[in-house]
Amino acid sequence: MKRRALLSGLAGAAALAAAGCGSKDSGSGDKAEVTIWQQKFTDQEDAWYKKAVAAYNASQNKVKVVHQIVPADAWDQKMKAAQAAGKAPDVFTLNYNKVQGFARTSQIQALDGVIAADKWSGLQESVVGSITYKGKKYGYPMLVEPSAVLYYRKDLFAKAGLDPEKPPTSWAELVDFGKKLTTKDVSGFSTAGNQIDMGWSTWGLQWNAAGHLPISDDWSQPRANDPAYKPLLQAYQDLYKQGIMPKQPLAPYADATPFGQGKAAMMACGSWAASVLLSDFPKVVGNVAAAPMPSFDGDVTKPTATLGGWTWVIDGKSTKAQAAAEFIAYVLAGDPALLVDYFKTTKFSKYSPRTAVADTISSDPAAKENPWAQTIQDKVVKYAKPEPTYDWSISLAFGKAIEKALQGKDIDTALKEADAEIKDIIAKNNLAGQGTTS
């Protein structure tokens, strides 16, 4: 029954894909046609994509780019159907953590030969590492978003006798400050509260605690049982046990709404929280400050976040790679003004990995609308690590270990169980030797 429903769904999606991805546009004359699929974002971001495509189409007369927005929940099914029908888009948006896997399975093409070398200059080195596989670049970076930033209420700091200009820099301070800030109605600190959210939101803290992720760089051995991880799990256990964290998560990790509503005095969330606070809670903005998440040894130059975000790639079977690459280079590696407009639409809550764009943003008076942008750029993005590219089940195994600690279970046992689970994942998925984590 399920199989029949799945096949029926795929067939329907294939028909939709075929209808939406014709290789020739009757209105394009002799122009080559290049298609781009973009995952559905906010209305403002979607409008920018349309504007960028229109700008490129107006800039030349050899290629017509056709743009399509695909809802996130339909993306996988629609893409599989399009690939099965030979109608996959020439260009599509892809998360950094999927680029290397897609390159390994030839689902996307290397861009080195179709985008000129000078177009790659000025890109953040760590981000280039995320789109590189076996020495070749498979995606062009558009933006990065740090996964973990500490937002805190300055007015509540002052009320609790804390200096609003001195956020916690170590986890010992975070626990101490959180205790002082916790009241009957306000949690001292809110962060991820379940294994799924902990699985990805703590990637930067995993780097911070142990200097590595819970699997070896070549993915041949688990490394979750490193005692260096114990302070991370102990911190979550202390925060929960002492009532500094809410007993039930106020919201999923990515949702800054409860903090905006005044339900927490400190919050860990990604840089995207800024756009929520600016748009939905303008009255609290003047009382909110941002800082890097605390480090376990107090060294603020060590990573506490990872950089996620979006890159543009060319489908592995596209026969119009050169035309597609010229479109990508025009939008992402051309005039910075076009991309700066995108960052304006997102209230500068995302960051450019390209120096020319980042510098233009820094000098744009509108960037001051986001009072935390420069702090996040200088103190979080600068030291952040790329997202890991290994299977999600490995991240989830470590997220389970943190959740067990939070629930009061023995930390050594939780780490050993995560280690054993990751070892099993490596064996079952034949991951040994495939890793590129560094």
Q: Is the pLDDT of residue 4 over 60?
A: no
Distance CA 306, CA 298 (A): 18
Q: Is the pLDDT of residue 43 over 50?
A: yes
Q: Please check whether residue 260 is in contact with residue 280, taking contact to mean a CB–CB distance below 8 angstroms.
A: yes
Quick one: pLDDT band at residue 266, thresholds 50, 70, 90? very high
264-285 average pLDDT score: 94
User: pLDDT category, 364, cuts 50, 70, 90?
Assistant: confident
Percent above pLDDT 70 for the chain:
93
This prediction has a pTM of 0.80
> Span 304-312, mean pLDDT?
94
Is residue 1 over pLDDT 50?
Answer: no
DSSP state of 264: B
Answer for the pair 38, 68: CB distance below 8 angstroms, yes or no: yes
Q: Which of 338, 371, 370 is nearest to 354 (CA)?
A: 338
CB contact at 8 A, 154 and 227 = no
**What integer pLDDT is reported at residue 434 of this predicted model?**
83
> Following DSSP, what letter does each residue of 85-142 receive, concatenated?
TT---SEEEEEHHHHHHHHHTTSB---TTTS-GGGGTTB-HHHHHHTEETTEE--EEE
Bridge partners of residue 386, in order along the sequence: 307
Residue 285: Cβ-neighbour burial (10 angstroms; 0-12, 13-18, 19+): middle
Q: What is the pLDDT of residue 26?
A: 40
- Contact, 233 vs 409, CB < 8 A? no
Confidence of residue 352 (pLDDT cuts 50, 70, 90): very high
pLDDT tens across 397-430, in order?
999 999 999 999 999 999 999 999 999 999 999 9
**Is the pLDDT reported for residue 197 higher than 90?**
yes
What is the average per-residue pLDDT within 316-330? Answer: 97
Nearest C-alpha neighbor of 150 from the set 166, 135, 136: 166
SS3 371: coil
Which pLDDT score is estimated for 362?
Answer: 84
Q: Provide mean pLDDT across the span 9-13.
A: 39
In angstroms, the CA 5 to CA 1 distance is 6
Structure tokens at 350: 């995302």
DSSP state at residue 388: P
Residues 187 and 245 sit within 8 Å (Cβ to Cβ): yes
Percent of the chain residues topping a pLDDT of 90? 77
Length, in residues, of the chain:
438
Give the model's confidence band at 22: pLDDT under 50 very low, under 70 low, under 90 confident, else very high: very low
What confidence tens digit (pLDDT) does each residue in 157-183 have?
999 999 999 999 999 999 999 999 999
Sorting pLDDT into bands at 50, 70 and 90, what band is 367? confident
CB atoms within 10 A of CB 11: 12
Measuring CA to CA, how many Å separate 42 from each of 48, 201, 214, 257, 346? 10, 22, 34, 17, 9
Q: Is the dihedral of CA 10, 13, 17, 19 positive or negative?
A: positive
Instruction: Residue 129: count other Cβ atoms within 10 Å of its Cβ.
Output: 16
Closest-CA residue to 31 (of 313, 432, 327):
327
- 40-44 average pLDDT score: 85
Give the pLDDT of residue 12. 40
